[in-house]
Homo-oligomer: A and B are copies of this chain.
C-alpha cells in the first residue's frame, strides 16, 4: 500500500507524523490523477476547519521533494499526483477533464537521434493531453 510506504519515508527522513499528513496522502492514493492545491484544500476542509494554505503548500512541496508526489504545470496551476518514482521511467497521458493519467511507456529521449553539441540537458517533459474514455 502506497500510503504506508509514504508514511514510512516521512518517518525515515525525520519528519513528524500528523493526521493531516496522512489525510493528504490518503487523498492522493484515492485520487489517482493530477490534482491541484485547492482540490486538496476542498477535500481537507471537510475534516479540518480553517486549514491553513501554508500547511497545504508546505506539505505538497515537502512530499514532492521526498519524491512521494510529482508535479506538473497545467494552465498556470501546479498539479500533483503520486509519484511513479519506483516504476520504470515513463510519461503520461493526462485527461484535461478529470486529471486522470495513463502511462506512456516510451520515452522520446530514447528516440531522438539529434545531438546537442555544447548543450547540457537537465530534464525533459513529454505529456499528451486529451479526454479519457470516461470523460468522452
Contacts and interface: CB of A to CB of B under 8 A. Distances in A.
Interface of A: 73-78, 93, 95-96, 102, 104-106, 108-109, 111-114, 116-133, 136
Given A106-B114, A108-B111, 11 more contacts: A73-B73, A104-B114, A108-B126, A118-B132, A119-B131, A119-B132, A120-B131, A121-B128, A121-B130, A124-B127, A125-B126
Nearest to A73: B73
A122 to B, nearest CB: 4
Q: What copy number does this chain have within its complex? A: 2
A126 B76 CA distance: 17
Contact of A116 (B93, B123, B124): B93
A132 to B, nearest CB: 6
Contact of A125 (B121, B125, B131, B133): B125
A120 B95 CA distance: 9
A78 B117 CA distance: 28
B104 A106 contact: no
A81 to B, nearest CB: 17
Contact of A122 (B76, B113, B126, B129): B129
Interface centre among A76, A77, A128, A131 (most CB of B within 10 A): A128
